[in-house]
Chains A and B, each alone.
Chain A
Amino acid sequence: MTVAEVIFYVLAALAIVSSLGVVTVPNVVHAALFLILSLLAVAGFYILLSSEFLALVQVLIYAGAVATILLFGLMLTRGRDELLPSVGAGAQWPVGLLATAVLVAAMGTAVLVSEWPRDAGEVTMISVNTIGGALFRDWLLPFEIASVVLLVALIGAVVIARQEEGEA
């Protein structure tokens, strides 16, 4: 086994185990911390796939900002829910388990039987310069639309979450 393989398997085990933690541990704050671990493992995948820019974005935006917002959301919505079991009494989890098993089986077989193109010899490190150039040259319109979407989402979130007058 090469070093890259060892790193890959360690990261894969970490990602899968922590994702399992996100969906199974009863304590919601622990689930959020597992989510951070899983996101960091995925950042490791990005480095293995030689796109360090995405790894940085992943750590900053996902494991940093998004996880922090989620933790804030958890702590602001802690009420009597704490006493409820995290898996509902409606018992949807067998359905979820079935759907998960079917999905894993279907996607696993699809991955195994498909012919994937392999010209891995062409893989080059994609530098931040190149990505920046491509974003502002070939992907300018989607980029600008994304910034408008972010702005609208930001304003929308503020408007929705704002406390209105006369509200307790």
Chain B
Amino acid sequence: MDTAAEQIPLESFLFVSAVIFSLGVYGVLSRRNAVQILMSVELMLNAVAVNFVAFASYTDGTLFRGLIFAVFVIIIAAAEVGLALGIILRVFRTRATANVDEVDQLKW
């Protein structure tokens, strides 16, 4: 059976992942709601995971190290979302806002 990898060049996956990553960067820079920034970070992490898996199945079929890396990326992303939402809830409770521009007390 033909696997998809034999029909689609590796570059296609890399390119799509580059576009998704850049969109995530745009989201982080332009959005002001903390939860939306978090969602953009998720997009970026996800794009990186796609790259890892693409490299794993195109060039590393026996050891698939990239696949394991992607598993760890997902684990860290889950931990990050949990913690970040805890912080956002905390900030919202004391400052009644989720707008990152209004939370600038640590800004020098």
Contacts and interface: CB of A to CB of B under 8 A. Distances in A.
Contacts of A61: 74, 78
| Chain A facing B: main interface SS | helix
A46 B17 CA distance: 12
30 contacts: A19-B20, A22-B27, A22-B39, A23-B43, A46-B50, A49-B53, A51-B64, A54-B49, A54-B71, A57-B71, A62-B74, A69-B85, A73-B88, A74-B35, A88-B101, A93-B29, A96-B29, A107-B21, A116-B58, A122-B62, A123-B3, A126-B57, A131-B64, A131-B68, A142-B72, A149-B76, A150-B78, A157-B82, A160-B86, A161-B86
Interface of A: 2, 4-5, 7-8, 12, 15-16, 19-20, 22-23, 28, 31-32, 35, 38-39, 42, 45-46, 48-51, 53-54, 57-58, 61-62, 65-66, 69-70, 72-74, 76-77, 79-81, 84, 86-88, 90, 92-93, 95-97, 99-100, 103-104, 107-108, 111-112, 116-126, 130-131, 134-135, 139, 142, 146, 149-150, 153-154, 156-161, 163, 167
